[in-house]
Structure 1
Amino acid sequence: MESKRARLDRFLSSELKIKRKDIRLMLAQNRVRVDGIVAKDIQQLVDEFSHVSVDDAVLKNNRPSYVMLNKPVGVVSATKDDKHKTVIDLLDHPAKSELHIVGRLDLNTSGLMLLTNDGRWSRKLMSPESKVEKRYRVTLQNPLSTEYIDAFAKGFYFEFEDITTQAAKLEIISEHIAEVTLTEGKYHQIKRMFGRFRNPVIGLHRYSVGELLLDPDLDEGGSRELSVEEVNDIFG
């Protein structure tokens, strides 16, 4: 299909090289199934993951993939790069050429990355309206103080973009380590927020997205498919 979703008659006409008027007869003869159910409506929408068959011959049977990756420092969140290894290079996945990245991490940031071929799922996950929380462990060069907590909760004004960041939660774990929870992801946001205190970030690790935690059994650079429960429950 040219687009992610299409009317059934348009899809069949394109795939079978027949006129749309002939498709009405095919449906009347119960020859077409969508996701295992006999299709009756030529205006029914099919998408990239619909299972479509005619006379038991499968025309379309793509499957969604959802992958968790433990990104190491020094790997770029890109599909191609001339200088650095990419997250795609790390994958051992039969459909890795079809996957796209859901929420990038900087070169020097490690931790949980998600990849998928399901555009609707990734758009929902990254939409500001979904308010999906991302949690990071941050290591700072200089000691922390309680004033950071209030500042992060109030948000920071970024003059370059003319925006004020949404409220973020900061929890002090030790003198030089904090955990930060965001519901957005502006450019170098965490580093820039700590930059207001002239406190350089020397380590940044994302350990969760929504309800999904980075699998502790995944070595750096390792990846695995998400379970059905993980895919559905990530939004909470």
Structure 2
Amino acid sequence: MAGALGIPVLSGDDAVEDSYSRLSASAMLPVSADPRPADTTAPAVTSAIGGEQLAPQAASLPNLDETTEVDVASLTKAARMGEQAAKVEQAISGAMSHGAPEAVLYDGDALVMPTAGRFTSGFGARWGVQHYGIDLAAPIGTPIFALTDGVVEKAGPASGFGMWVVLKHADGTKSVYGHINRSLVEAGQEVRAGDEIAEVGNRGQSTGPHLHLEIWQSDGSKTNPLPWLTERGLDVGNATGGRDA
């Protein structure tokens, strides 16, 4: 159908198709480049933002002298002390992880208070016989812990003690735990400081439940456990509530 000027008039789908055709033709027209030449007189970017501020500056370093070296040495020493303190804390925490009441580090080795009890009897003559250890009174079943790292030499029945555990340590010293209710270790077993090895009992020649602790030197002689423990930083009185009156 033609319009008043003789131009065909389209309608419906024909009109839509014609519109798409015109748009497509327009899209295919070439785009002319900007004929204006580049402005070579424009200031450089560095000038626009203050080029002098971007110019490299000579690095200003502090003078390294003997004082500086001393400071570095001090920092290194402090770092090493911090590492050592962390190792000590780790060793003590590990030794107390099974419930030992107290732990210390002595000559690089962890030591623990072997049980939580009350000091009732010391080393020396008693009732006409020699008492070769100290007694720590506690209820039957109270955990007994390895004094320090060692190997179980004996565990089981023992004359006078009823039952005992004997640990041999790296320096040849032995720790003896007597009158125990039951052993939790076997001969030949390696133990670490603070491992639970037995329970407090009342077996053998005993007047009440307690741990009888002895320290045997490498030559077989028996030493007083009280000063031996104190020298290493373990205070029986503080750890167990004091001596029985």
Flag the structure with larger Rg. 2
Q: TM-score range by the shorter chain?
A: under 0.3
TM-score between the two structures when normalised by the length of structure 1: 0.23
